[in-house]
Structure 1
Amino acid sequence: MPLRVGVIGAGHIATIAQLPTLVQRDDVELRALVSRREDPSSLQRRWGFKHVYRTVEEMLDGDSLDAVFVLTPRGEHVEAVERALSAGVDVFCEKPLATATADAVRLAEMAEERGRVLMVGFNRRFAPTYVAAREAFGATGAAFCVAQKNRAGSEYRATFENAIHMVDLLRWFCGGEVVHVAAAAAGSDLWEEDGSAALIRFSTGNTGVLVAARTAGAWSEKLDAHGQMRSAEVIAPDSVAITDQGVRTIRTMSPEKFGWATATETFGFADAVHHFLDRIRDRQEPLTSGWEAAKTQRLLDQILQAAGLPIEEQAGREWSSKAVQ
């Protein structure tokens, strides 16, 4: 029986990431869309939604759904996720789960108490290059891991909005609980920093380093991991090089090898959607569950505080690159 899916927000991230994957699944029925567009008919025709609603409440009251995708700006995540969980619906939420860690923890607890699947879109854990790099270190994890996401030009709460992906990767690669954090930030505007860097020590004995420069000459995302006489070098999203006992193997996301792959596949968006739908079927905990998202956000708070940056939104200045449509 097809899974009846509702989508809240069909802006930029939805149209390049989740929706193209959902429409390709034979076991999914795009049942409902929540959109603030004055005329959402083009969205309805393009993606094949059965019904369109103006609010989350109207959608949950008007349709019987198995799952909901929350793809709105981050400031609207908590209310939408909470309403869906209260209605007994499984939820996929774009990152971050909440603007405050306490809310992320509360939503994770709520999903657990109600027996609902709650997954957060930390898609890098599903990107083929990062998956291959992580597999090189097995259960032990990487002894040293450096994750970088750099770009030209800053943005509102740059570390929180964008570098959170790399913080999540450091947790995934190094494993264990956080035991020490040291960090520094650059720039005079605390809510629009020029960049940040952090050193994180984990209970496994492994060490992670974050670099997020917004004064870089160009966009770049990369990760270097080392341990057990192995190294993994990821140049996202296109290549991963694994060196094991002196033997180096390079895997590239080339058209010849992988077909005409798009960002939906290379950055892990598609596999994240598939993973969520599979967890709905088998009722197992997702790799990027609500609890995992809360732990990543708690570490991000520690980094921000150590760097002298605020952990809260600045009143009147809330912003996100993911426009709701």
Structure 2
Amino acid sequence: MTAQRLRVGVIGAGKIASIAQLPTLVQRNDVELVALVSRQEDPGHLVRRWGFGAAYRSVEDMLAAQDLDAVFVLTPRSEHAHAVKLCLENDIDVFCEKPLAPETDEAERLADLAEERGLILMVDFNRRYAPVYTAGRDAFGEKGATFCVAQKNRPGSEYRATFENAIHMVDLLRWYCGGEPVDVSAHAAGEDPWEEDGVAAIIRFSTGNTGVLMAARTAGAWNEKLDAYGHGKTVEVRAPEAVSTTISGVTTSRELSAEAYGWATATDTLGFSAAVHHFLDRVADRAEPLTSGREAVQTQRLLDRILAASGLPAEEQEGRLWQSHATQPVSGGTK
């Protein structure tokens, strides 16, 4: 790492990058946006908007031309593993959008590679950095929540909906309950296993705590919430803005509104910006990130068990191209 500003590369500049990571990166005085990898024929507007030093058509071209300290991999998930592996092999710390790889074994190989080389590898399970979820988790301390119900419901399905979207709540259940899964039971709805109507699951953890997942794709509206109980405490999170904690009959509520949190946006309330800051701080102090590559692998292994228990595939559908609303192009073809 250089003694001056951190030299950062970004791979992919779709919707999520433009609303979350890039606005946060440009606020940091210790970061220099050196390089962008973009598929867009003319990414000049992105270079000018965010102040990149140069743009490249491939990860290989960027790594050959630049000496970087850290890279943000913000592409569709099918492209994560290739980019992460190349960066780690060039001794560069990596921040990667979730999941680390489409297949869990491949994700584990990347986590192994990062550890072997002493590099920082962090996966963007941003809910762990969201103020409402952090406040709720802090209430339970080391023991975690005895019972935790995490829900992420919305109208309409998509390709591999549970893997793409409910994985956030699976990660929160691991974080709130602690330990590793001992027993997993699950049920899926819908006739198409590649575009399911939703999943419900019950997970018993090695701590003795129990997590419940609800991920309905037949809901009337989008909602995300978490309820946790234990040790005489109740926590209710209504993402992205509200959390209440009840201890011995006394309830304390917190709402992250524009008035209370300074022009709050999803970038702040859902933890996107805090995740970026956390990664950059770990690059500086070399401590393990809260959502390290190894942690991400454990979450993905639990998700695999939920998929298997519900009769859904744990692998990609052959020949199917994957897209996400988060990595769709902004003003033209960049992903």
The equivalent residue for 2:211 is 208
Task: Specify the alignment match of 2:281 in structure 1.
Answer: 278
Asked whether 1:257 is paired with 2:260, we answer: yes
Partner SS, residue 256 of structure 1: coil
Distance in structure 2 (CA, Å) of the matches to 1:258 and 1:151: 26
| TM-superposed deviation, 1:315 | 1.1
- Find the partner of 1:35 among 34, 38, 41: 38
- Please say which of residues 52-61 and 255-264 is displaced more in the overlay: 255-264
- Counterparts in 2 of 1:140-219, with a 5 A limit? 140-219=143-222
User: CA separation in 2, counterparts of 1:317 and 1:148?
Assistant: 27
Give the whole-Å Cα distance in 2 for the aligned partners of 1:5 and 1:116.
15
Q: List structure 1 runs of 4+ shifted beyond 4 angstroms.
A: none
Q: How far is the alpha carbon of 1:160 from its aligned partner? A: 0.1
- How many equivalent pairs are there? 325
2:260 maps to 1:243: no
Report the Cα offset of residue 319 of structure 1.
1.2
Q: Aligned letter for 1:317?
A: R
Provide TM-score, normalisation by structure 2.
0.96
The answer to whether the 8 Å contact 1:127/1:267 transfers is yes
Alignment of 1:122-141 (within 5 A): 122-141=125-144
Structure 1 residue 188: deviation in Å? Answer: 0.2
Question: 2:7 maps to what in 1?
Answer: 4
Match of 2:224 among 221, 226, 236: 221
Alignment identity in percent?
69
For 2:147 and 2:23, locate their aligned partners in 1 and report how far apart those are by CA, in whole Å: 36
Equivalence for 1:323: 328
Matched, 1:102 2:119: no
Alignment deviations for residues 7-34 of structure 1 (CA, whole Å, 9 cap, x no partner)? 0000011001100000000000000000
Q: How far off its partner does 1:177 sit?
A: 1.2
Show the counterpart of 1:90. 93
* Equivalent in 39, 45, 50 of residue 47 of structure 1: 50
In structure 2, C-alpha distance between the alignment counterparts of 1:218 and 1:191, rounded to whole Å: 22
Unmatched 5+ stretches in structure 2: none
Q: TM-score, normalised by structure 1?
A: 0.99
Please list the CA deviations of residues 268-299 of structure 1 after superposition, one character each: whole Å capped at 9, or x if unmatched.
00000000000000000000000000000000
| Backbone CA RMSD of aligned residues | 0.6
Give the equivalent residue in structure 2 for 1:307. Answer: 310
Q: What is the one-letter code of the residue matched to 2:328? A: A
Shift of 1:94: 0.1
- The 3-state SS of whatever aligns with 2:159 is coil
Distance in 2 separating the partners of 1:154 and 1:282: 41
SS of corresponding position for 2:259: helix
Q: Spell out, residue by residue over 1:154-207, the C-alpha distance to the aligned partner (whole angstroms, 9 max, x if none).
A: 110000000000000000000001100000000000000000000000000000
Give the Cα–Cα distance (whole angstroms) in 2 for the partners of residues 21 and 318 of structure 1.
30
| Matched letter for residue 289 of structure 2 | P
Q: CA deviation at 1:317?
A: 1.5
C-alpha separation between the residues in 1 aligned to 2:323 and 2:282? 28
Shift of 1:246: 0.7
Look up the equivalent residue of 1:323 and give its one-letter code. Q
For 2:194, what is the secondary structure of its paired residue? coil
Matched, 1:72 2:62: no
Give the letter for the 1:156 counterpart: Y
2:84 is equivalent to residue 81 of structure 1: yes
For 2:258 and 2:24, the matched residues in 1 are separated by: 19
SS of the counterpart of 1:79? Answer: helix
TM-aligned CA deviation for residue 323 of structure 1: 2.8
Counterpart position of 1:56: 59
